[in-house]
Amino acid sequence: MTSFASTQRRPAASAVLEPTNNSTNDDSSAQSQAVARQAAEGRRITRIVFIALLLDILSFTIILPLLPRSLEAYKAREGSDPSTLLGWTLSQVAQLRHQILGWTTSRFLQQGARADLVLLGGMLGSLYSLLQCVVAPVIGRVSDRLGRRRTLMVCMAGNVVWTVLWVFSRSFESFLLARIIAGLSEGNVQISNTVIADVTDVSTRSKGMALVGIAFAVGFTLGPSIGAYFSTKMDAEGSGGSAFAPFAAAAAFSLALLVAESLYLYFKLPETLHFKKSIDDGEQVSDVTVTEKAATTTSKQTSGSSSSGGDVRQVLRKLNIVHFAYLFFFSGMEYTLTFLTHDKFNFTNMQQGRLLGFIGITSTLLQGGYVRRVKGKASAGGRGDKSLVTQGMVGCTLGLLSIALCCISADKSSSNTPSWWLWSGAVGFAVASATVVNCLNSMVSLVGAEQLDTGKRLGDFRSAGQIGRALGPVFACSVYWLSGAAVCYLVGAVAVSVITMAFVAAIPVTTIAPSTSGTTTPSSSPRSSKAN
């Protein structure tokens, strides 16, 4: 009887187990399909961000080769009238210059009012970056709260407004107002980085961030050349007595690019704030799972560590400091480059565009042919980022040293033709542009286990960099103003070399926590992890 009963029960048990196994297999297959769809959607969104960011950077860089001559145009219109803001500012700078000349023999200061435009340009650049420093943390936190798409569209509205004002900036005051609005509205790069962090995992994050660098490289290749070209369509006087700004044709083209970008983002970009919480289209992870993940993140951020054993917040703090220090010197030297070529070599707008275009082309080739390959090979542990940042800083140091040698050579020969050292320095700038900032962004986004506060951490990181960008141009232009170009670039070369050594010593090889690197990636869904 027992044997018979046992025999009778076996098929029943088998019948129960078989559907359970089939159900498990079906669930696993569905999860795999959902992961594949999510990964494909992430790649599609990354392409959208790349195209939009390219349009944005093209619009942003159009003004770069035009800024020195735009300031000259405003000076010609109203610089001699002390009742205007520009006239009053230039008179104050001139008084300071006369006082300084009492105890220095700076050859550059002896150029008089021509030298004052360099300092004025540095002040203008610093104002823009200071505003960015203030608004970047706000944009990051708002995007965490209200969503990436909504925040980005508000930024785009501000960008369109400032460009419209630029087109009609007949006076320096209106141009200054336009730049203030621009500084408060430019959140596109920050949010683009955040969106890419939303839709990528540990294995694809660095390559996704590299696309931001490629967009920058292409934008800085084409944008200045476009600005130089359109400057020939309407001279610096606008249209004589019209209400247009200097080089208004270039401003109008910049506006057209921003309008196209706004429409493209409105119709194409989805919300990505909760991208990694969805397992399938429209299906959300349970509140319990999200709560458990948030609690785990909080505890690991409090007591957790990076792969080198350092506290997460300490690593973030060090990366922010490096970002600030590097951009303080790099942005200052970069900002004075067009003033240097205008002052020392009398570059035209087209020549300025060619120089910046050369830097952009070289940076693009490095991004596509070298940086992405290094990132791809080392993406599993994030180790490629630190190596690339170090290489970029070394390239920046050598580039600044080359430009200093170019200035020394020009001073000795009294030649208006730049030596090959200028182009060697441009290569160093290209190496730095292709590697440092976008790889630091990647490192920041990968610190710790979860990315629930990506907007906040990238906003704080950008804010630290923008403080450097705010103070750097004033510092560099002041050194240039007081001691000349050669001393300015020598100081920059020494400073960046020190920052490089500090970065190598203080930052861990990888900022990814090995015990948690796969918990939020599309390759391991929350539901399957919970089941295990």
- pLDDT score at 303: 39
Strands 278-280 and 283-284, bridge-based pairing = antiparallel
The token duo for 513 is: 């926590």
Burial-class residue 318 by CB neighbours within 10 Å (0-12, 13-18, 19+).
middle
C-alpha 390, offset from chain centre: 18
69 contact partners, CB below 8 Å, separation of at least 6: 231, 236, 246, 247, 342, 349
Report which secondary-structure segment, H or E, holds 181.
Answer: helix 172-185
- pLDDT score at 64: 80
C-alpha 111, offset from chain centre: 35
Spell out the domain ranges in the chain. 43-273+306-522
332 contact partners, CB below 8 Å, separation of at least 6: 122, 471, 472, 473, 474, 475, 476, 477, 492
Superfamily of domain 43-273+306-522: MFS general substrate transporter like domains (1.20.1250.20)
pLDDT (tens digit per residue) in 157-202: 999 999 999 999 989 999 999 999 999 998 888 899 889 988 888 7
Measured between its terminal Cα atoms, the distance across the chain in Å is 40
Inform me whether the pLDDT recorded for 311 exceeds 80: no
- pLDDT score at 306: 39
Give yes or no for a contact between 304 and 519, defined as CB atoms under 8 angstroms apart: no
Place of tokens 């960015």: 132
Report the percent of the chain where pLDDT is more than 90: 27
Other beta carbons within 10 angstroms of residue 258's beta carbon come to 23
pLDDT tier for residue 291 given thresholds of 50, 70 and 90: very low
pLDDT tier for residue 112 given thresholds of 50, 70 and 90: low
Q: Give the CA distances from residue 59 to residues 159, 222, 330, 340, in Å, rounded to whole numbers and listed in that order.
A: 10, 10, 22, 23
How far apart CA 182 and CA 132 sit, in angstroms, is: 9
Q: Give the CA distances from residue 416 to residues 270, 339, 356, in Å, rounded to whole numbers and listed in that order.
A: 52, 14, 19
How far apart CA 7 and CA 449 sit, in angstroms, is: 52
Give yes or no for a contact between 301 and 460, defined as CB atoms under 8 angstroms apart: no
Residue 512: helix, strand or coil by DSSP?
A: strand
- pLDDT score at 355: 85
How far apart CA 319 and CA 122 sit, in angstroms, is: 26
pLDDT (tens digit per residue) in 365-384: 888 778 877 766 655 445 67
pLDDT tier for residue 450 given thresholds of 50, 70 and 90: low
CA dihedral 78, 83, 85, 91 (to 10 degrees): 80
Minimal CA–CA distance to 226: which of 381, 54, 80? Answer: 54
**Per-position DSSP letters for 439-506, written without gaps between them:** HHHHHHHHSBS--TTHHHHHHHHHHHHHHHHHHHHHHHHHHHHHH-HHHHHHHHHHHHHHHHHHHHHH
pTM for this predicted structure: 0.70
- pLDDT score at 531: 38
Minimal CA–CA distance to 384: which of 373, 393, 394? Answer: 373
Strand partners, 278: 284
The mean pLDDT of 35-44, rounded to a whole number, is: 85
Give yes or no for a contact between 427 and 120, defined as CB atoms under 8 angstroms apart: no
Residue that wins the pLDDT comparison between 517 and 195: 195
The mean pLDDT of 405-429, rounded to a whole number, is: 85
The mean-pLDDT minimum among 28-42, 186-200, 283-297, 310-324 falls in 283-297
DSSP type of residue 289: H
Give yes or no for a contact between 527 and 31, defined as CB atoms under 8 angstroms apart: yes
The mean-pLDDT minimum among 322-326, 337-341, 409-413, 521-525 falls in 521-525
Go through 74-103 and write b for each residue having 16 or more CB atoms within 10 A of its CB, e for each that does not.
Answer: bbebbbeeeebebbebbeebeeebeeeeee
- pLDDT score at 516: 39
How far apart CA 169 and CA 177 sit, in angstroms, is: 9
How far apart CA 471 and CA 273 sit, in angstroms, is: 33
- pLDDT score at 22: 59
Strand partners, 284: 278
How far apart CA 121 and CA 108 sit, in angstroms, is: 15
**∠229-234-236 over CA atoms, to 5°?**
100
Minimal CA–CA distance to 41: which of 290, 372, 269, 202? Answer: 269
Q: Classify the C-alpha dihedral 327-329-332-338 as positive or negative.
A: negative
Q: Give the CA distances from residue 86 to residues 74, 76, 167, 202, 214, in Å, rounded to whole numbers and listed in that order.
A: 8, 10, 19, 50, 37
pLDDT tier for residue 23 given thresholds of 50, 70 and 90: low
> What length does the chain have?
532
Give yes or no for a contact between 361 and 221, defined as CB atoms under 8 angstroms apart: yes
Q: Classify the C-alpha dihedral 270-271-272-276 as positive or negative.
A: negative
435 contact partners, CB below 8 Å, separation of at least 6: 213, 366, 371, 388, 389, 391, 392, 395
pLDDT tier for residue 215 given thresholds of 50, 70 and 90: confident
Residue that wins the pLDDT comparison between 261 and 473: 261
Report which secondary-structure segment, H or E, holds 278.
Answer: strand 278-280
pLDDT (tens digit per residue) in 44-76: 999 999 999 999 999 988 888 788 788 888 888
